[in-house]
Homo-oligomer: A and B are copies of this chain.
Amino acid sequence: MQNLAISIRISDDLFIKDPESTDLGKRIISKSIELLDELGFEAFTFKKLGAAIGSPESSVYRYFESKHKLLIYLMCWYWSWIEYKIVFGTINKSSDIERLKIAIEILTKPIKVDNSFIHVNEVLLNKIVISEATKVFHTKDVDKENDQGYFAVYKRMVQRVSELILAVNPSYKYPNMLVTTVIEGAHQQGYFAEHLPSITDKKRGKNRVCNFYSDLVSKMIS
């Protein structure tokens, strides 16, 4: 089957030169995902990235002004992609409940390979989101970066799911809290399952996390 001719559009402010516009740019994105997964954000440097793609670090700096901005770029990409999956996944569904159920599944189930965007490995990107995404918010520059709109995609996606909740129960008072609790909670469970298993209840059976949070949402809004 042919791929859709779409691409994820990211705010200009997050890069100096659009990485989607050149071959080197795409290799920067592609390799940075692999390296971030492999090394973690702290040990990841533009020098290592440059070495991995066979270019000097100065070339990387022509695309991104810092590794922090690159991480924000990747998070924006990820949330745009999730938003797209939610929008497409809920189109033409018959009931509000079903639409909400699908959105929660997309947010809490393990990510499957997706070949629509060849230079982005969504499975690795999801791992990076789980391990590193909090570092995007938890900085002394949050407020400034929020003003500059860097978190707009994330916030819009939260709003969208909140609206699905309100469609099911228009009088529910805490849709945003519920959505962020689910999203961040699901990521956290994934991380704990891998690194601090004693404080999860994950067993052999798959999708416990998805079931837990799906159940949580339906109990909270009914």
Contact = CB atoms under 8 A, between A and B. Distances in A.
A81 to B, nearest CB: 19
A74 to B, nearest CB: 15
B131 A138 contact: yes
Interface residues of A, number: 47
Contacts of A215: 220
A6 interface: no
A40 B184 CA distance: 22
A132 B177 CA distance: 20
A174 B208 contact: yes
Contacts of A40: 138-140
Nearest to A41: B138
Interface string A42-70: 11000000000000000000000000000
Counting every copy of the chain, the complex holds 2
Given A173-B201, A200-B177, A137 B195 contact: yes
A209 B177 CA distance: 8
B177 A181 contact: no
A191 interface: yes
A154 B158 CA distance: 29
A155 B195 CA distance: 12
A154 B154 CA distance: 29
Nearest to A188: B184
A143 B185 contact: no
A140 B37 CA distance: 10
Contact of A42 (B132, B140, B199, B220): B140
Contacts of A42: 139-140
